[in-house]
Amino acid sequence: METVIEAPGAPLAEAGATYWTRCDSPLGQLLLTADGDGVLTSLSVPGQKGGRTVRDDWRHDTGPFRAAEEQLRAYFAGELREFALPLRSEGTAFRERVWAALDAVPYGTTATYGEIAARIGASRAAVRAVGGAIGANPLLVVRPCHRVIGANGTLTGYAGGLDRKVRLLALEGVPLP
């Protein structure tokens, strides 16, 4: 199952191809990938647990990423609160529901793993599975998994590293423990 959030964009010439670029940020050099339609499919930070690495069959091209780079610059400058990018991620139906719940956590706020589980209609026993789905988020920063915290308010887990989670939450003005 895949989630697609549509936004205007010019399709690329070759369907099925993966395009990539790197983008400087306060979190380090980001790796962005897009499909043949120019839809963002991943955003990884250096050293990310489960992050993507460039493959030989991918095509380096900055063209599909102009809007993403512009919006990321504005976000890191504190000028953008909500991304408006075409996104595509592939995961199980459960992961897709969790990722949709992440997309609904507003800028400058947090939600607990238990709250995310409740939003998707999962039981309290599913909190670990919710955490696993959040950890598998392929679109760091633009899909705000950094806004999810532990039930007691602690900053638990982040595939990009807790130091980056702290920086993102501080940028958004979230009071830190």
Candidates 145, 148, 159, 169; catalytic one: 145
145 in active site: yes
Three-state SS annotation for the chain? CEEEECCCCCCCCCCCCCEEEEECCCCCCEEEEECCCCCEEEEECCCCCCCCCCCCCCEECCHHHHHHHHHHHHHHCCCCCCCCCCEEEECCHHHHHHHHHHHCCCCCCCEEHHHHHHHCCCCHHHHHHHHHHHHCCCECCCCCHHHEECCCCCCCCCCCCHHHHHHHHHHCCCCCC
Residues annotated as part of the active site = 145
